[in-house]
Amino acid sequence: MYVYEKIERKDRSLRVNNSCSSREEVVVRRLSPLPQSPVPAAAAATKGHSGLLTNSKSGHSGLLSSKSGQLGGDSKRMKGLFKSKPRTPVDIVRQTRDILIFADQSSTSLSDSKREEKMAELAKNIRELKSILYGNSESEPVSEACAQLTQEFFRENTLRLLIVCLPTLNLEARKDATQIVANLQRQQVNSRLIASDYLEKNTDLLDILIAGYANTDMALHYGVMLRECIRHQTVARYVLESPNVKKLFDYIQLPYFDISADAAATFKELLTRHKSTVAEFLSKNYDWFFGEFNSKLLESTNYITRRQAVKLLGDMLLDRSNAVVMTRYVSSRDNLRILMNLLRESSKSIQVEAFHVFKLFVANQNKPPDIISILVANRSKLLRLFADFKIDKDSLSEFLETAVEAAKRAGEIIREGFYKTKHVEHKGLVDLVTETDKACEDLIFNHLKQQHPSHKFIGEETTAAYGITELTDEPTWIVDPLDGTTNFVHGFPFVCISIGLTIGKVPKVGVVYNPIMNELFTGVHGKGAFLNGKPIKVSSQSELVKSLLATEVCFSASSLSAQSCNRVRSLRMTGSCALNLCGIACGRIELFYETGFGGPWDVAGGAVIVKEAGGIVYDPSGEDFDITSQRIAASNPLLKEAFVEVLQQSE
């Protein structure tokens, strides 16, 4: 046995995690032999210093055990000397892979607590991997570390495990994993996109991603991954030629608005990114593709689906790469019939997009005789239609599209925060505000301002923070980023984003979106009201005693008397003014009344939707509705008189 002493030097800088830091280099020198003793030979070599302290066959192992007592210091000081170096990207990928294998096997031999511990470690590793690829608040991503991570990810099938095991992760880990997979598609190693080569050999992963749209919990995550994967032309070609591509037509028509919109975005990316591949695909598969496209999308009963489809059709046919396909499409009388029907739509957005495609039928220099005969027979009707036809970028329909996109994006924030612990503040005696309210309002206003910088904006949270904002005759967006905050805090699913546009102080566009229940209500002045793209109408009930009443009873609002409540069938309190108005619009309830609510943001979106669904909005006194009065009643026209009488008796 030997006695060792340590010599400390600071003349070397060790590079750790791509940053230099001064570290003490420990050199161990043998001095003199010691008598043999029965001290246990516990291994004391530290992995991080394997080049300096190694286990060997020379009898030196175990001499730095905490039990030896011969090293001139206590065990705590020695442990401080031999700290493990930080994990490399390769280490993290390998450890992540090991835990993913555990998750994939779904072992039942371990206790629930042990499994939770493993999954928590997995989530932490995934978060670290994301930080390496994207950087963080303290540092930018380092190209060398990203390259190491990328190589290791594809070397041992970690990408496959991450995709397959995604359903076993918690929501935050899924989100991080989705961003990792997306980022890896763009990472180059030695000037090569190795993700493309990997996916070309593992095409079954693409089938998993497409089929993921059928899983409501996984759909949006797999959708993001799929869109990033089809950035590679070989991958896009496989997806187009796969029988699974036909499933996208069905996914676009799903009743879940966010999922159907995501599937539509993937479909568009697939058919517009790689022009030569798309042109070849459309030429080979013209009959079945446009048969499905026309019947399932262009002639869909869903307004949003029709609007997206006709815009995509124009993008495809107007692309020069698809010239042959375009000529074939505009030579069909059945296709012309569909386009002429779209020209008669009440939606200005659909009319405008259909007009761009219709021009191709007219401009075709080799029009078949049946096309010519249809155009001639409908000449006078077409001239009347186009006499007042204007392509106006700032039309109400365009405003609606902007609001819907903002609501969808804010809905993702609400959906992610709904099941998490909330940080809650009070903005009054009983009113609550969360971080989600603030994040949603920032996102919505930023989106609206980018599209319409000259418009004015009023929001619940900014008004609460900075005081009342005056409503003028200028186009003004009025936003409640999270109507039903108390419901949100308690996990009660009646929450929504409410966006209204007023012009001349009159509500013209309304969007109310409940991301938890996947319900999107929309209304545009003169264009009707819709729920997830399908037209809605108010109830036709004419008897008060058979009507369902919604109201809110709170400290700052008047309440209906018990006697008045007995005049209706039943009473409901959902905690969301905007959703109550939408309940009137779609016929779920017949009557709504509230006074003393927060401000115009509570009613700006819903008021338009009620009116466009055939309902009426008015002051509880029976006078005209004033959006700034904090007083509202709504019903179908048949019930107004009797309802106002009851309300006046209760006040």
* CA dihedral sign, ordered 127, 261, 332, 371: negative
- Note every long-range contact of 338-342, with CB atoms under 8 Å and residues 24 or more positions apart, other chains counting: 338/294, 338/298, 338/299, 340/374, 340/378, 342/298, 342/306, 342/310
DSSP 8-state code for residue 513: E
Tell me the H-state helices in 29-111. Answer: 75-81, 89-105
Burial of 204 (0-12, 13-18, 19+ CB in 10 A): exposed
* Known binding positions: 460, 480, 482-483, 602
* Known binding positions for Mg(2+): 460, 480, 482-483, 602
Question: Six-digit token pair at 203?
Answer: 């095409």
Span between the terminal Cα atoms of the chain, in Å: 97
Pick the closest to residue 174 from 187, 162, 158, 157 (CA basis).
162
The CA-atom distances, in angstroms, between 537 and each of 309, 569, 636, 644, 645 are: 25, 20, 9, 21, 24
Q: Tell me phi and psi for residue 434, to 5 degrees.
A: -115, 170
- Scored b (16 or more CB within 10 A) or e, 527-536 reads bbbbbbbeeb
Residue 610 contacts residue 627 (beta carbons within 8 Å): no
Burial of 316 (0-12, 13-18, 19+ CB in 10 A): buried
Question: Six-digit token pair at 409?
Answer: 């994006």
